[in-house]
Amino acid sequence: MGYDYKAIIERPQAGFENASDYCHEDAGRRETETGLSMGRLVALTCSIGGLQTVWLTIFSHGSSYLSSLGISEVHTSLIWTTAPICGAIVAPIVGVVSDSSRIVWGRRRPFVLMGAITTIIAISALSWIEPFTALLCSLHGEPSMAPMIMKYWAVFWITFLNVGIQSMQSGIRSLIVDVCPPEQQSLASAWAGRFTGLGNILGYLLGSLPLPFLVKNVEAWRFRCMSLFAVTVLSITTVITLYFIHEEVVAAPPEEDHDWVIRRTFRGIVQGMVSMPSRARSVCRVQFFSAMGWFGFLFYSTSYVSHLYLEETTENSDTVHSPAHKASGMRFATTASLLFAVVALSMNLILPRLTRFSGIDLLSQKRSFWTHLNSLRQPHILWALGHLLYTFLTFSTFAISSSTAGTATIATAGIAWGVTQWAPYALLGEEIASQNSDRGNVEELGGKRVAKEQNQNGAMLGVHTVAVNLPQILASIATSGIFWLAGQVGIKDAVGWVLRLSGIAGAVAAWFAYHL
């Protein structure tokens, strides 16, 4: 028996004794025969946008904020390795544990909630770390220790933040695959991309505005304002997702498993790799090189445009820039990133209408001009073209010397980023959901819909997350090496070299994407 996708659980109603009662009561009454309604798709994916406002805060102003705390570029780059390390460790654990979870409230939603709470606490503490550390050190009579202690606390809260982000992201992505039928995976990924783009736009708009009050440390206060905004949006969107989206619960109790979580996680990852469709494994291979290429861009594109602006607006390159001048440069660079986000959002609006999915192998048909042109509508071809565009843009920085040209380059990269945010999740979701549908994992039992056995969606998406995060660790270490080497030989355009070298990984990703 295949999935009956009408059975998307409604929110709890009065009169039910517990969550399991309403989770199966009159399942799918308000859903269409073809899958989720538009409202449900919005509720399901909006929390991705809330989470993106947190990522945006870190990506766009995290490096400059850490610099304002007295942390060097080399150390900052090493600190950012906590993000992919947490992704490579936390996401697979969350995926495996949630796959086997029998919590009545759902398998994925508890991790979404816990991740959101952890994220909110961590980014709030990080944004106010300087005054709190100074206060605590003063109370203990050691004010001179504040700068050193503050750096250790920064590492702690960034690690804690990434644990929360990865827990929430893993839960949301697994939830999307769980409740969406195969034919709606592309649309769901597009909606997730749209909310991602909207979160970026709102965040960049806030980051590009001048502060309405005079402060000494402009970057610190800007980061605090953006963190407050991110916390607000994340809280609202998480509540919407948790309230309106429910899950089917596996009926049978799990067998007792006394293995350590590490052993269970490793076994779950292996099972996920074995269960994963071959094309989905190929998507993970593309993501390995894609993530390696995009890491430096996402963290340092704002700094790159800011550097161009500062060099362009000062006659002497050795000039020590004032805090006000640096703040002006960051606002200008944030405008470039805003254009990047607008272009990426535009791509996510048109991609589902533009593409044809893998059910039709256009390249195997008559090889006329129109056939080849039509083949460009396949997601993996668009993904490959996006990587080629990204590679070209990063190499073009050799010829860029003005902030205007830098802004145009960053904005154009939004085309490639829009495809990258949509294509892999659409391809993965289609493959995994189709596999689950073929297995017929849902049946009617006593008038209620129950899952006959747990699926491996969380584990398979955990494998994908590992494929995304491991190369970022390598990229982060390589970036630190570039900054160190640039300091040794006196190269001032270190950020530019980070972008150019990332283009090599983008070219490799384009090759593998084309051959999907």
Among candidate residues 277, 257, 247, the one with its CA nearest the CA of residue 10? 247
Contact 35, 182 (CB under 8 A): no
67: containing domain = 19-250+261-360+368-514
CA 78 to each of CA 41, 67, 375, 480: distance values in angstroms, whole numbers, following the listed order: 38, 13, 42, 6
- pLDDT for the residue 392: 96
330: Cα within 13 Å, side-chain hemisphere: 27
Residue 439 is assigned to a structural domain of this protein: yes
Residue 243 has pLDDT above 70, yes or no: yes
| pTM assigned to the model | 0.74
- pLDDT for the residue 22: 38
Neighbours of 281 (CB within 10 A): 15
CA 316 to each of CA 215, 305, 306, 308, 473: distance values in angstroms, whole numbers, following the listed order: 27, 18, 16, 13, 36
Neighbours of 490 (CB within 10 A): 6
DSSP 249-286: -BSSPPPP--S-HHHHHHHHHHHHHHHS-HHHHHHHHH
pLDDT, average across residues 97-108: 80
Residue 4 is assigned to a structural domain of this protein: no
Residue 165 is assigned to a structural domain of this protein: yes
Q: Give the pLDDT band (50/70/90) at residue 145.
A: confident
Residue 428 is assigned to a structural domain of this protein: yes
DSSP 107-173: SSHHHHHHHHHHHHHHHHHHHTHHHHHHHHHHHTT-GGGHHHHHHHHHHHHHHHHHHHHHHHHHHHH
Token pair belonging to 222: 């800007």
pLDDT (tens digit, 9 = 90+) per residue, 475-503? Answer: 888 888 888 888 888 887 888 899 999 99
Q: CATH number of the domain at 40, please.
A: 1.20.1250.20
Residue 13 is assigned to a structural domain of this protein: no
pLDDT (tens digit, 9 = 90+) per residue, 289-303? Answer: 999 999 888 878 888
Token pair belonging to 404: 């205007």
> Is 278 exposed, middle or buried, given 0-12, 13-18 or 19+ CB atoms closer than 10 A?
exposed
Residue 9 is assigned to a structural domain of this protein: no
Lowest mean pLDDT among 133-142, 257-266, 415-424, 455-464: 257-266
More reliable by pLDDT, 434 or 502: 502
More reliable by pLDDT, 202 or 253: 202
Number of domains in the chain: 1
Residue 413 is assigned to a structural domain of this protein: yes
Residue 272 is assigned to a structural domain of this protein: yes
With a pLDDT cut of 90, the percent of the chain lying above it is: 24
Distance CA(377)–CA(316), nearest Å, equals: 49
Q: Give the pLDDT band (50/70/90) at residue 507.
A: very high
**In DSSP terms, which residues pair with 32 in a beta bridge?**
35
Residue linked to tokens 């150019």: 500
pLDDT, average across residues 433-453: 55
